[in-house]
Amino acid sequence: MKLIRFGAIGKERPGVQMENGTRLDVSNFGEDYDEQFFGSDGPDRLKTWLTAHQDTCPFIDESERLGAPLCRPSKIICIGLNYAQHAKEAGMEIPKEPLIFFKATSAIVGPNDDLQIPKGSQKTDWEVELAIVIGKKASYVTKEEAMNHIAGYVLHNDYSERAYQIERSGQWVKGKSCDSFAPLGPFIATRDEVKDPHNLNLWLKVNGELLQDSNTSDFVFDIPTSVSYISQFMTLLPGDVISTGTPFGVGFGFDPPRYLKAGDVVELGVDGLGSSKQVAKAYI
């Protein structure tokens, strides 16, 4: 099942995208896609509800804006340098254990909303990523148990302001959390929809030029390892997002580096998770 949310900013309603691409409003199910939903087998309950009520669900017009496909989660946890070739282009050693950092949930926007370049930014960069949505509370889980705690997967562009992230003192979170720096979607694909998350092509274009083109088989740490590892340090709650890192081809890896400017168009996608597009806009 593919979970979507649609409507004006701040007024999004839940929906589903069917196999033929049509979208249905499931507001009458009575729940949004939040911690309570994911933590109470929401996707399975919704699937059962749809078998009886699908014919009564209104169609969603294709012109409707898509919002992020889940309500604001308790946290977004990102894994850095999790692709071997990306570590190489960054001139950094492959981590011996997952390198984790946070991204503010206030950065979340819809998949096709504008990218707002931060005030004074000169080094806003792109990062196509596969993200995980937690479906069951996870604390001290083993690698063998980890996949049972996943509700689904979603496309994420982990935008980063490199000067804030690298050149200024402190933690990476400053360069990761600016408004609009976490477009999610177009949909969450439930776990059963993605046969092998460790063999997905992912790509990103800027102004039509293909800059990132890789596969999740280049992961340094696979998904069970990452979920288990993070759960040793914090409780993962239903609806939490784990972003699994980006492959080679980011802006700061070029010589000279390439960064986004107003008017640039960023398009990205992951196998089975659709695509998204953001237009860069200058801070006003």
Which of 208, 219, 184 shows the shortest CA–CA distance to 84? 219
Distance CA 44, CA 283 (A): 42
Q: Residue 90's pLDDT is what?
A: 72
Helix (H, G, I), strand (E, B) or coil at 114: coil
Q: Residue 193's pLDDT is what?
A: 97
Q: Residue 168's pLDDT is what?
A: 78
Residue pLDDT tens, the chain, 284 long: 999 999 999 999 999 999 999 999 999 999 999 999 999 999 999 999 999 999 999 999 999 999 999 999 999 999 999 998 777 777 778 889 999 999 999 999 999 999 999 998 999 999 999 999 999 999 999 999 999 999 999 999 999 999 998 777 778 899 999 999 999 999 999 999 999 999 999 999 999 999 999 999 999 999 999 999 999 999 999 999 999 999 999 999 999 999 999 999 999 999 999 999 999 999 87
Tally the residues of the chain. Answer: 284
Q: Residue 170's pLDDT is what?
A: 74
Which of 282, 271, 5, 257 shows the shortest CA–CA distance to 128? 271
- Please check whether residue 95 is in contact with residue 260, taking contact to mean a CB–CB distance below 8 angstroms: no
Distance CA 141, CA 90 (A): 31
Q: Residue 51's pLDDT is what?
A: 96
Q: Residue 15's pLDDT is what?
A: 98
Where does the chain hold its CATH 3.90.850.10 domain(s)? 71-282
- Please check whether residue 33 is in contact with residue 70, taking contact to mean a CB–CB distance below 8 angstroms: yes
CATH class of 71-282: alpha beta
pTM: 0.96
Q: Residue 199's pLDDT is what?
A: 98
Which of 180, 155, 103 shows the shortest CA–CA distance to 267? 155
* Max intra-chain CA distance, the chain: 57
Q: Residue 171's pLDDT is what?
A: 83
Q: Residue 148's pLDDT is what?
A: 98
Helix (H, G, I), strand (E, B) or coil at 11: coil
Q: Residue 94's pLDDT is what?
A: 85
Residue 263 neighbours by CB under 8 Å, 6+ apart: 279, 280
Q: Residue 224's pLDDT is what?
A: 98
Instruction: List, as one string, the DSSP characters of 238-281.
Output: TT-EEE----S--GGGSSS-----TT-EEEEEETTS-EEEEEEE
